[in-house]
Amino acid sequence: MKHVDEYRSSELCRQVVNEIHQSATRCHTIMEVCGGQTHGLLMHGIDVALAGVVDLLHGPGCPVCVTPAEDIDFAIALCRRPNVTVATFGDMLRVPGTTISLREASSRGGNVRLVYSPLDAVQLARDDPAREYVFFAVGFETTTPATALAAQQAAHLGLENFSMIVSHVRVQPAMEAIMRSEASRVEAFLAAGHVCTVSGYDCYDQFASQYRVPVVVTGFEPLDLLSGILSCVRQLESGVAMVENRYERSVHAEGNRNALQVIDELYEVCDRPWRGLGTLQGGGFRLRDRWSFFDAVHRYPRTALPTVQPSLCRSGDVLTGRIKPTDCEYFGRECTQELPLGAPMVSLEGACAAYARHARQTAS
């Protein structure tokens, strides 16, 4: 398959692995931001192939994992209302709020619908005008344009029974928070390729310069990931900190102008709480005032609920790279994919789920 098979060549991958080993004079610590990259690194055994040469840390790149419990609590409260249906993606159903998940709420009588796109939720509202439909909008810059288009479509159709819980987050503020932490061991970042298809990568220039940290945009196939790691290693060995693009077939410096335009039209940057990281300045998006009709927070009273994170789950440590999943004393014991303690073990993009799925028994 064009643009896929050539990035899975075992021969080319071995060559790049050898180049990384030859280029590194010490072990370098690199964080991949995207949960999809985490799965790729483990699935293809890249972490094992580079053991002792590159220490891979796993960042907060799982949008489901970083959705705060209070937003899930709000969605649960709404789905329990007599005439309200909450629509969301599959991963969000199992992520725990303060006490239970949306799936558990559904089993107890809450009205929850699984959808595959925000426009599916719009269609539900169009087909059933007597009922209120609330779409739980989560994700990074990648999914934000789609929810913006959903609100535009709802406005075009004149729907009065559609709204959204907006829990969109922005990647770069989380990277900045990690670099400001005294506990951070990150020396370089593999930037999330799918986010950069929307945002571009010019925005990272100041970040790389300020924190003296290389940022390399990469994709998800093994050769993509290895090429990105090689670029990071070469920069670190040379004492350079700059932004490089190793995902040229999908990412351009300025990003997707049409997507950025629709984001800017409907959303504005705001402070946003992240699960495990706290409230980040500029860490998310909210609907602009002129679009607030579609904001569920404006439409429904939001009761302040005490949010207590699960006492055993160390999601904050995992999401910031302070520990690897296998460093957690509960991994594979009290916390499994069948009975997860927290979001990183629930989501398909979660680092703990990746380690469990690919049977990593020890931190590499």
Quick: pLDDT tens for 100-150.
999 999 999 999 999 999 999 999 999 999 999 999 999 999 999 999 999
Regarding whether 145 and 207 lie in a shared domain, the answer is no
> What pLDDT is attached to residue 361?
46
Regarding whether 184 and 159 lie in a shared domain, the answer is no
Domain with residue 40: its CATH number is 3.40.50.11750
How does strand 84-88 pair with strand 132-139?
parallel
What's the token pair of residue 340? 């997860």
Q: Which long-range contacts (CB under 8 A, 24 or more apart) does 91-96 make?
A: 91/64, 91/346, 91/347, 91/348, 91/349, 92/64, 92/67, 92/136, 92/138, 94/340, 94/346, 95/64, 95/65, 95/67, 95/343, 95/346, 95/347, 96/69, 96/72, 96/310, 96/340, 96/342, 96/343, 96/346
Name which of 307, 324, 306, 305 is nearest 315 in CA terms. Answer: 324
> What pLDDT is attached to residue 260?
97
Whether residue 347 is contained in a domain is answered as: no
Q: Which domain holds residue 129?
A: 68-168+256-299
Regarding whether 159 and 74 lie in a shared domain, the answer is yes
Which 3 state secondary structure label does DSSP give 3? Answer: coil
Q: Give the C-alpha separation, 15 to 363, whole Å.
A: 25
pLDDT above 90 as % of the chain:
78
What's the token pair of residue 107? 């089993």
Domains: count for the chain = 2
What's the token pair of residue 68? 């705060």
Regarding whether 290 and 175 lie in a shared domain, the answer is no
Return per-residue pLDDT of the chain as tens, 364 residues: 456 778 888 999 999 999 999 999 999 999 999 989 999 999 999 999 999 999 999 998 888 889 999 999 999 999 999 999 999 998 899 888 888 999 999 999 999 999 999 999 999 999 999 999 999 999 999 999 999 999 999 999 999 999 999 999 999 999 999 999 998 999 999 999 999 999 999 999 999 999 999 999 999 999 999 999 999 999 999 999 999 999 999 999 999 999 999 999 999 999 999 988 899 999 999 999 999 999 999 999 776 555 455 458 888 899 889 999 999 999 999 899 888 888 899 887 899 999 998 875 444 4
Which 3 state secondary structure label does DSSP give 283? Answer: strand
For the chain, strand residue ranges (E) read 28-32, 54-58, 84-88, 112-114, 132-139, 162-168, 188-192, 215-218, 243-245, 267-274, 278-287
Cα of 13 vs its chain's centroid, Å: 26
Whether residue 38 is contained in a domain is answered as: yes
Domain with residue 150: its CATH number is 3.40.50.11740
Who's near 104: CB < 8 A, 6+ residues apart? none
Q: Give the C-alpha separation, 139 to 8, whole Å.
A: 28
Regarding whether 49 and 80 lie in a shared domain, the answer is no
Whether residue 155 is contained in a domain is answered as: yes
Whether residue 196 is contained in a domain is answered as: yes
Regarding whether 220 and 196 lie in a shared domain, the answer is yes
Regarding whether 160 and 104 lie in a shared domain, the answer is yes
Point out which residues pair with 135 in neighbouring strands: 87, 164
Name which of 353, 33, 361, 362 is nearest 174 in CA terms. Answer: 33
> What pLDDT is attached to residue 62?
87
Regarding whether 156 and 129 lie in a shared domain, the answer is yes
Q: What are phi and psi of 276, to 5 degrees?
A: 90, -15
Q: What are phi and psi of 300, to 5 degrees?
A: -120, 140
Regarding whether 268 and 139 lie in a shared domain, the answer is yes
